[in-house]
Every structure is written in structure tokens, then in C-alpha cells.
Amino acid sequence: MARLTAENLQRARQLIGLYPQSRSALIPMLHIAQEQDGWLTPDGMAHVAELLDIDPAEVYGTASFYDMFFTHPVGRYLVSVCTNLACLINGADELLEHAEARLGVAPGGTTADGEFTLEEVECIAFCGAAPCLAVNWRFFGNIGNDDFDRLVEDLVAGRLADDVPPHGTLNRVGRRVGLTAGAASSPPATHEDDATPEQARPS
């Protein structure tokens, strides 16, 4: 249960610099902590509270409110099977039952090897490809039982490593542009000569 690494500490401080109020960086900093450890460890949350100069209870309260954050260990792959209406009509109950049998865990459970956590979720907005599921928030649609088995095999074998990073990684593209909070910027153009033709046209 580590505090933020030196690299992630630098990322966190850069995030803080983007906001006039440092506490506004809380949610993106929690994502960094979860990316580091796969879940929000007590030490990780305490470190975030320390960096933002807020009470640890506020950090925990925020982390426990949002369903993309986990304050307990989860598997390397979080398999989220949608059972909302469109998926339900198209066999989501049967898919979830098969997933339970294939992984050997009920929703909310993690396999003994720590590879998979299974959960049942509400709509993940992929209704046109029902039944669907997400693995670490990467979406897979039109999933039947055989498709699920192949997906598990591909994940275990590392064949989807380019598409599905370990749990906690929302994206693998870092922020490279933008101003820090309070940085000077040029005032917007106010002369008609500077306006685009569309802006300059009388109404």
C-alpha cells in the first residue's frame, strides 16, 4: 500500500497547478492513485489528502461515492456485464450466469489468482451491440458465451494488452498542452477586423 511514486507525484503536482483551488484536482488525482495500485489504498488516499491539504475523510468520501473508484482490491481485469433493458432482452442474464461459471466467482467477487473481478452494471451506453460488457472500461459488444470464453483466454494470454491496460488506467495519453491556473493569456480579439466573416456579419 504505497504512497504515490515519484513519477505519479510529479503528475499530481502538475494537476494541482491546473486549478485555482487545489482541492479541485481531487478526482483526477484519485485516478492517478488508482492507476498506480489498481485500487485506492489507504496510504494512497492519505497521500492525496496530504497533497491537497484536506481531511482524509473527504478523500474517502469522494472515492466511495463514485462507482469507478474502488477502495478495496480488485482484479487486474474488471469485467462489467451490463444487465440493463437492451442487454437483458438480448440475453444478458444468461451471459452473466455463464461469466460466473467461467470465472468461478459471483458478481462482486475476484478470482483466486487476482486476475478477474466480475460485476453486474447498469447501462454502459453500448445498447446497439447488446449484450455487451466492459473490461477495464474498454467496451465489447454482441457477446455470446463463446465470445466471452475467447475474451477471457485472450486477456490471460496477453493478446489484448494493447487494447486493455491493467485496471485503473483510464488512458495512456498524457496531457501535453494547456495553461496552468493563473497563467497569463492574451485577451480575446474585440475588433471587427479580427473577427471571422461569420462573426462580423450583421444579425
What is the tens place of the pLDDT at every residue in 99-134?
999 999 999 999 999 999 999 999 999 999 999 999
Give the residue among 48, 53, 152, 142 at the shortest CA–CA distance from 99.
152
The answer to whether residue 162 is domain-embedded is no
* Count of the separate structural domains present in the chain: 2
Place of cell 483466486: 112
pLDDT for residue 182: 61
pTM: 0.82
pLDDT for residue 171: 83
pLDDT for residue 49: 98
Average pLDDT in the 170-174 region? Answer: 78
Average pLDDT in the 52-72 region? Answer: 97
Task: Name 188's Cβ contacts closer than 8 Å, sequence gap at least 6.
Answer: none
pLDDT for residue 192: 40
Place of cell 444478458: 92
Phi/psi for 151 (5° steps) reads -60, -45
- Residue 195 confidence (pLDDT) above 90: no
Range of the domain at 92: 77-157
Place of cell 446497439: 128
Where does a domain end: 117, 138, 157?
157
